Structure 1
């Protein structure tokens, strides 16, 4: 299997692309940079971790991805509060980011119980 086959990578990549599209015309470059970077960090860390050797390294990168998902949720909440993200889009993104976190947690538990590859 490749990281491109992982549902969590696919889901996080789509979310990142949606965030980029939504903020393409945003002139608040500080906020735009932060939210697009945290969104991009999730699938990037999943891919990097998957390409590393050994479960321990992979778990570390899945943890980084999970941390980025929490960072992204925070930025979505703030974006909704300040009017940059409409409530329905924000709720959808929060739900997706939360599901990605759950998927990463499950994957890390799986890695902890299997033998080194």
Structure 2
């Protein structure tokens, strides 16, 4: 799934930032960024495995919120001088629109999920 793959790329990039920038010295901010970036990916996976489109939609909503949280943390890291403009811009490119578009699709789809499938 493309949204999950993108979330995985975000996690990898955040980890790269921890290894190459002063963010690693600010333990609170680092832990918050680790949590929110991982939450984007994890909520997509958990929602997908629920086998119901309404539950999946809810988890995509949580994921979208985590993406906003990470974006806010990126602003904090940038304002503290931990990130270059290029690193900051790459991090805030987080595609909430893809999550939103996928949520729209689920709301308007006739497919309700595997657990509602009639044999």
Tell me if both proteins adopt one fold, taking TM over 0.5 as the criterion.
yes
Per mean C-alpha deviation after superposition, the further-off stretch among 82-91 and 21-30 is 21-30
* Counterpart position of 1:35: 33
Structure 2 residue corresponding to 1:103, chosen from 81, 98, 101: 98
| Residues 21-77 of structure 1: per-residue CA shift (max 9 Å, x gap) | 211371211110001111111011101110002111000000000000000000001
Cα distance in 2 for residues equivalent to 1:64 and 1:50: 13
Is 1:11 aligned with 2:6? yes
> TM-score, normalised to structure 1's length?
0.88
**Distance (whole Å) between structure 2 residues aligned to residue 77 and residue 91 of structure 1:** 10
| Equivalent in the alignment of 2:56 | 58
Following TM superposition, the consecutive aligned residue runs of length 4 or more in structure 1 with deviations greater than 4 angstroms are: none
1:82 aligns with 2:80: yes
**Which segments of 5 or more consecutive residues in structure 1 lack a partner in the other structure?**
1-5
- Residue in structure 1 matched with residue 44 of structure 2 by the alignment: 46
Flag the structure with larger Rg: 2
Query: In structure 2, how many angstroms separate the alpha carbons of the residues matched to 1:19 and 1:31?
Result: 12
Instruction: Name stretches of at least 5 consecutive residues in structure 2 with no aligned partner.
Output: 114-119
- CA-based RMSD of the aligned residues comes to 1.1
1:3 corresponds in structure 2 to none
Q: Distance in 1 between matches of 2:35 and 2:19?
A: 13
Please give the secondary structure, in 1, of the residue aligned with 2:83: coil
